[in-house]
Amino acid sequence: MELDINLEGRKIKLNLKKELIISYLIVVLICISITGILLDRFIKSEFEKYIITVQKKASEEIVNRIKNQLNEENQWNYTELQNIGIEALENGFIVSLKDDKQNTLWDANVHNSIECQHMISTISENMEDFCSSSEAGYVEDEYIIKNQGNSIGKIIIGYYGPFYYNDNDIMFLNTLNKVLFMVGIISALLASIVGIFMAIKLSRPIAKVIESTKDIAKGKYSTRIHHKTSTKEVNNLIDSVNNMANSLEENQYLQKRLTEDISHELRTPLTTLQGNLEAMIDGLLQPTNERLEICYEEILRLTRMTKDLEKLSYYEKENLVLNKSKFDLYDDLKSLVKNFENQFTTKKIIVELLGESLEIYADKDKLLQAIINIIANSIKYTKDNGKIIIYLSQYKEKVVISVKDTGIGIKKQHIDKIFNRLYRVDESRNKETGGRGLGLTITKAIVEAHNGKIIIESEENKGTEISIEIPQNI
What is the topology classification, in CATH, of domain 2-174?
Beta-Lactamase (3.30.450)
CA distance 231 to 201: 9
CA distance 260 to 10: 53
CA distance 333 to 337: 6
What pLDDT is recorded for position 11?
A: 43
CA distance 304 to 298: 10
The mean pLDDT of 222-229, rounded to a whole number, is 82
CA distance 397 to 451: 13
What pLDDT is recorded for position 6?
A: 44
> What residues does 198 pair with on adjacent strands?
none
pLDDT in tens, 311-327: 777 776 666 788 899 99
Class of the CATH-defined domain 321-471: alpha beta
- 435 against 359, higher pLDDT: 359
- 401 against 285, higher pLDDT: 401
Length of the chain counted residue by residue? 474
pLDDT in tens, 1-45: 444 434 344 444 556 677 777 777 788 788 878 887 888 788 878
Query: Model confidence at 439, in pLDDT bands (50, 70, 90)?
Result: confident
Residues 351/333, Cβ–Cβ less than 8 Å: no
Residues 463/404, Cβ–Cβ less than 8 Å: yes
Residues 438/421, Cβ–Cβ less than 8 Å: yes
Residues 301/275, Cβ–Cβ less than 8 Å: no
pLDDT in tens, 110-123: 888 888 888 888 77
Note the CATH number of domain 232-314: 1.10.287.130
- Select the highest-mean-pLDDT range: 7-11, 23-27, 104-108, 452-456: 452-456
pLDDT at 87 over 80: yes
What pLDDT is recorded for position 364?
A: 92
Q: What is the 3-state secondary structure (H, E, C) of the chain?
A: CEEEEEECCEEEEEEHHHHHHHHHHHHHHHHHHHHHHHHHHHHHHHHHHHHHHHHHHHHHHHHHHHHCCECCCCCECHHHHHHHHHHHHHCCCEEEEEECCCCEEEEHHHHHHHHHHHHHHHHHHHHCCCCCCCCCEEEEEEEEEEECCEEEEEEEEEEEECCCCCHHHHHHHHHHHHHHHHHHHHHHHHHHHHHHHHHHHHHHHHHHHHHHHHHHHCCCCCCCCCCCCCCHHHHHHHHHHHHHHHHHHHHHHHHHHHHHHHHHHHHHHHHHHHHHHHHHHCCCCCCCHHHHHHHHHHHHHHHHHHHHHHHHHHHCCCCCCCCEEEEEHHHHHHHHHHHCHHHHHHCCCEEEEECCCCEEEEEHHHHHHHHHHHHHHHHHCCCCCCEEEEEEEEECCEEEEEEEECCCCCCHHHHCCCCCCCCCCCHHHHHHHCCCCCHHHHHHHHHHHCCCEEEEEEECCCEEEEEEEEECCC
Q: How many CB atoms lie within 10 A of CB 447?
A: 22
Residues 324/363, Cβ–Cβ less than 8 Å: yes
Q: Which amino acid is at 145?
A: I
The mean pLDDT of 127-154, rounded to a whole number, is 76
Q: How far apart are the first and last CA of the chain?
A: 51
- 397 against 41, higher pLDDT: 397
Q: Would strands 387-395 and 350-354 be described as parallel, antiparallel, or unpaired?
A: parallel
What pLDDT is recorded for position 311?
A: 76
pLDDT at 96 over 50: yes
pLDDT at 430 over 50: no
What pLDDT is recorded for position 133?
A: 52
What pLDDT is recorded for position 184?
A: 79
pLDDT at 449 over 80: yes
Measure the CA angle with vertex 383, ends 377 and 385; round to 5°: 120
- 328 against 170, higher pLDDT: 328
CA distance 211 to 217: 10
Number of Cα atoms under 13 Å in the Cβ half of residue 347: 21
- 302 against 13, higher pLDDT: 302
- 53 against 436, higher pLDDT: 53
The mean pLDDT of 221-245, rounded to a whole number, is 84
The mean pLDDT of 445-453, rounded to a whole number, is 90
Query: Model confidence at 332, in pLDDT bands (50, 70, 90)?
Result: very high
Give the residue among 374, 413, 396 at the shortest CA–CA distance from 472: 396
- Alpha-carbon 116 to chain mean position: 69
Query: Model confidence at 452, in pLDDT bands (50, 70, 90)?
Result: very high
Q: Would strands 387-395 and 10-15 be described as parallel, antiparallel, or unpaired?
A: unpaired
What percentage of the chain carries pLDDT values higher than 90?
Answer: 18
- Alpha-carbon 301 to chain mean position: 54
Signed CA dihedral, 248, 250, 252, 255: sign only: negative
What pLDDT is recorded for position 437?
A: 63
What percentage of the chain carries pLDDT values higher than 70?
Answer: 89
pLDDT at 129 over 70: no
**Greatest extent of the chain over all pairs of C-alpha atoms, in Å:** 164
The mean pLDDT of 164-180, rounded to a whole number, is 80
pLDDT at 431 over 70: no
What pLDDT is recorded for position 130?
A: 67
pLDDT at 427 over 70: no
Domain spans in the chain, listed from the N-terminal domain onward: 2-174, 232-314, 321-471
